[in-house]
Amino acid sequence: MNIKNFLDSTYLKTASQANLSEKENTEIVVNCIQEAIENDFKLIMIRPDKVALAKKMIQEANSKVTIGTVIDFPFGTATIDEKLAEAKKAIEDGADDLDFVVDYEAFKRGELDFVKQQVIQGTKLGLTHSKIVKWIIEVAALNNHQIVQLSALIKNVVIASFSEKEYDKVFVKSSTGFYKTPEGMPNGVTVQTIKLMLENSFPLPVKAAGGVRTYEEAVEMIQLGVKRIGTSSAKAIANGEVSNSDY
């Protein structure tokens, strides 16, 4: 198993979140993109405003690294039109994967038709442009029953609206890595949440994101059945080293 084929090397902090200047933060993004190129990771996952930069660097390096970005991140509360506009711009800039944050708070309020519509329309936009689409459900904001329900909702919408040959292009993804949990509780993926997602998302693939920081943890997730891992510790994982990253 080449673990690099599963790794979405991730840097999603804004300059203010990183307590850096825009120039300093962009330098970190450039270094992450270069690291992904040099290590042949599956994908580099960055903010939408950095997609064009990544596209230019990857093309100049003649690399096969793909580009992912996040849509309506990290809260998922934008309108459907706003989600689609952001995704369209990312596609124009060269993104290969679109990781939408589903409006999980609307889901918790019982606004199921609205949630279904954003899944349908976001997925349709991505697939129409031959992109991979992922729906972030934010497991730390949900109880186990809600994880089951939201994973199943996304699965059922995709099965009802798209062809079987497209199922492997639509993921259910665990976390943003930015959700604020009380009392230091995990804000990313756990073995329990991944099992619930895998059981209720099938036949859609699952991406584990947030909290995977070691080679052993990554292997465990892959053995459970995940197809992609989002992590800011991609190089450490690939090298079997210990990471102190917070995502």
Residues with a known catalytic role: 99, 173, 207
Instruction: Quote the CA–CA distance of 197 and 209 in Å, as a whole number.
Output: 12
Instruction: Quote the CA–CA distance of 116 and 138 in Å, as a whole number.
Output: 16
Instruction: Quote the CA–CA distance of 5 and 142 in Å, as a whole number.
Output: 29
Report yes or no: 245 and 213 within 8 Å, Cβ to Cβ. Answer: yes
Q: In one letter, which amino acid is 124?
A: K
Instruction: Quote the CA–CA distance of 118 and 157 in Å, as a whole number.
Output: 10
Strand 7-10 vs strand 43-46: parallel, antiparallel, or unpaired?
Answer: parallel
Region for 152 from its dihedrals, namely left if φ exceeds 0, alpha if ψ lies in -120 to 50, beta otherwise = alpha
Strand 132-136 vs strand 228-231: parallel, antiparallel, or unpaired?
Answer: unpaired
